[in-house]
Each structure stands twice: as C-alpha cells, then as structure tokens.
Amino acid sequence: MRLRSLFTTAVLSAALAVPAVAAPQAVAAPRDAAAPPGCDATDAEIYAAPPAAVPGNPGDLLACRPVKLTNIPGDVPMKAWKVRYVSTDAKGARNVVTGTVAIPDAPWTGDGSRPTVAFNPGTLGSGLQCAFSRQLAGQYVDMYEGGNLQLFLHAGYAVAATDGVGYLNGQVHTYMVGANAGHALLDAVRTSRRIPGGTLGADGDVGISGYSEGGAAALWGAQLAASYAPELNVVGAAAGGVPGDLKVTAKQLNGSLFAGFLADALVGLHAAYPEMPFTELMNDTGEKAIQDVKSHCLFGTLAVFLGAKVENFSADGLTLEQIYALKGPGGVTWGELVDRQRLGVGIGTPSSDAAYKIGFPVFQYRGWFEEIIPHETEDATRRRYCDAGINTTWKNNYPTEHLTTDWGAAGDVTNFLGDRFEGKPAEGNC
C-alpha cells in the first residue's frame, strides 16, 4: 500500500485551517527607465504595477535593492538583490518581471567566469505575497526550495531566480504559460549581469533548473534559449516533476485533492489571454474561486479547492472538454492555447530545422511515487526529447512522491549542472 504522501498530509491539514490573507497594499509608482545608477529602490518600487509602455530591452534592469535571504539555510556568505527587469510575454510584447539574484562571497575557483543557475521555483500560489523573491527574504513563508538554492550557492554558483510573470501590483501570475516562463527565466540571467556592483561576467556558463511548475519553466527556457537569448552560454538544463501536457494533467487534477493546481492554471491562462471567454462564464461560486486563486499561496489554494470540480464553477456546468472548445477572437480555441504549452513539440538538435534547437544536455526526473503529475505525461515528455535526438538523462526511481522528489533529487541536479560547468560530457540514457 502506498504511504500517504507528505503533500497529501499537508493539504488535508491545511484544509482545516485556511490562513487569512491580507490584501496587498497600494504601492508607489516605479522608476522604470534605463538601468538604475545604484540598487536603491524601495520594496514598493520593485513590485509596483508596470507602466502602460514598458521601456528597454529584454533583460534590462529596471530596479534593484539589496536583500538578506533569510529562507536560504546554512548561512552561506553572499550578496543578494531583489530585481525588477524587462522580459517578453507570450504575445511578443514587453513586460516587467521580478526576481532574486544571489552571488556567493567566496571567490570562484573554477575555470572562466562564475557560472549562474537560472532557477524557477515550483508552485507557490498566485497571491502577490507568494512571489519567490518575497518568500526568500522572509516576507511570507509558504515555500520549500531554499535548501535547493543553498546547494547551488555552496558549490560557488550564482543564482538568478525569477518570480515568474504576474507578481506585480494589480497583476495575476500567468501560471503554466510556457513562453512567459521561459522568457522570464532567461531574462533573469541577463539582468543578473547588470546589477551595479555585481561581479558576474557576460561569458559565464548558464545552467537551468526547476521542479514541477519550475520544471516546465526550465524546459521552456531550454527550448527558447537558442532563439531568444543566443548570447547566453547555456550548458545544461535540469527539470523534474514536469507537467508536459496540461490537458493530461488537468484531467487527473479535476476533482482531486490537488485541484488547486488546476484552479491556478485556469486563472493563470486567462491572465495571459484575457481576450478569451472566461469571467463571463462564471457563476457565483466561480467568481469567488477566481478571487481565492488571486489571494492565496500554495497550501491555502490547495485547501480551498480540495476535491473541487471545474464543472461547478460555470453557469452552464462546463466540462474541461467543453471549455477547450470555446472560441475567442479569430476563432482560436482554449484547447489550442492549452496545446501551445505542451513541451517537447518542435524541438531538435542545432543541425535540425526544428523551431526550438537544443544543443546541450538535459536531465529529466520524477519520483517513483509521483501522485500529482500523471506519469504518462512526464514519460512522454522524456520520449519526445529522446526522439528528437536531444542528449537526455532520465531518472524515475527516486523513492519519493511529488514534493519530496524536489528535495530528493537536489543533489543530482547540482551535480549534473556542476559537471556541465566543468565541461564534462553527458552520456544520456535514451
């Protein structure tokens, strides 16, 4: 008999006591312009709503402030900053994203410039207080990956951790929107090299890492790197617990203990594609559900949506399949937009004519007792990478479920990226 997972136990416990969440306070207007002369922005300026027209180019640093990362254990001596920077959304428009940059104090003793790990956290929730940069700084605590970053920093690597799109005042996180996530992750590396007083060289190697939502973002970063950020020397990517096909994942989540992830995804997709039918479809329960997603973090969202079914939130009792069939401007359907997020489609080697060229090794992994993301979609993503000729290392025998695999694989992820930084070949096991 499978043991009850840590995640399941936490969700059931949280359902008994959903935390009250204070509404985010209004903030001052940001100083969005060219890269600032110094890192003297206020917290309000970091997270303020973006201007109607975003200035600059992808990766431009708009604002920064020194910060102490109290939720990274081990007291690793480092310098760290919250950052506000320019990126690109799924429609090609400029947007503004926040994140964290951390650089160890210890001198880099490897060859060349200090490498950087581009990191996207796993699901944190969509409330503004849930932003990874806020949680790393101890302003809110509902996260679980500080120890993962500690391993990277202890090894001497810098970390450029994106919050992802949608944690600014007045916004909603565009959860599971692939291009948004991949662009924000790569641009976090670009902006990490533009911090006044920073020490990262433009020629430093880059490794990409993420788990769960972060795993999907990591693979999107890997797929987009060659075309979107060709100047970055990406040498490897590690991605675990990847919901590679959102339709397969949604089918399993609907009505389950983990339906909160589906709620985050539905609201996040609408945030990225507001022109599509959504809000007007909701009944009173659905309207409340949207507000719940916007106000809660991870465990609060899971508790609120425990066992929820999508059919209960629209006036017409729409199923997932019926939602996918709904059309927006130009006749595009929700199903088509969801399919655009599928990973491993259109990938190939640098010598191919693929839309997404990947010229570095990739490590994919999942836990043997994975209970949230269907094994079928994780395994299928790995197969698509192998079939495309991508140098892929696959590991699926961690004796862990979803959450604990993130921790259980952290050492392997650090070692995999470390080997790439040292120029060691990856044999793969396709």
List domains and CATH numbers for the chain. Answer: 26-245+352-421 (3.40.50.1820), 247-339 (1.10.260.130)
Beta bridge partners of 260: none
DSSP 8-state symbol, 327:
B
Angle formed by the axes of helices 259-272 and 284-295, to 10°? 90
Q: 287-296 contacts: CB < 8 A, separation 24 or more? A: 289/263, 289/313, 292/263, 293/126, 293/172, 293/263, 293/264, 293/267, 294/126, 294/127, 294/172, 294/267, 295/21, 295/23, 295/127, 296/18, 296/19, 296/21, 296/125, 296/126, 296/127, 296/130
Look-up of token digits 């995640």: 7
Read off the tokens for 415. 């070692």
| Sequential pLDDT tens for the chain (430 residues) | 344 455 554 444 444 344 433 333 333 344 444 445 689 999 999 999 999 999 999 999 999 999 999 999 998 999 999 999 999 999 999 999 999 999 999 999 999 999 999 999 999 999 999 999 999 999 988 888 999 999 999 999 999 999 999 999 999 999 999 999 999 999 999 999 999 988 999 999 999 999 999 999 999 999 999 999 999 999 999 999 999 999 999 999 999 999 999 999 999 999 999 999 999 999 999 999 999 999 999 999 999 999 999 999 999 999 999 999 999 999 999 999 999 999 999 999 999 999 999 999 999 999 999 999 999 999 999 999 999 999 999 999 999 999 999 999 999 999 999 999 999 999 999 9
DSSP 8-state symbol, 114:
P
C-beta neighbour count of 355 within 10 angstroms = 12
Look-up of token digits 């309207």: 287
Read off the tokens for 393. 């290392």
Length of the chain: 430
**Number of helices and strands in the chain (H, E):** 15, 11
Read off the tokens for 359. 């010229």
**Residue type at position 241:** G
- C-alpha 192/C-alpha 158 separation (Å) is 9
- C-alpha 383/C-alpha 342 separation (Å) is 13
- C-alpha 160/C-alpha 153 separation (Å) is 11
Look-up of token digits 């985050």: 264
Question: Among residues 226, 188, 211, which one has the least CA distance to residue 413?
Answer: 211
Residues 6+ apart with CB under 8 A from 214: 119, 120, 121, 122, 145, 239
- C-alpha 174/C-alpha 160 separation (Å) is 19
- C-alpha 245/C-alpha 235 separation (Å) is 25
Question: Among residues 244, 262, 245, 263, which one has the least CA distance to residue 253?
Answer: 262
C-beta neighbour count of 282 within 10 angstroms = 15
Question: The pTM is what?
Answer: 0.93
Please say whether the beta carbons of 270 and 396 come within 8 A: no
Residues 6+ apart with CB under 8 A from 148: 119, 209, 211, 406, 407, 410, 413
Please say whether the beta carbons of 232 and 143 come within 8 A: no
- C-alpha 39/C-alpha 87 separation (Å) is 19
Beta bridge partners of 95: 87
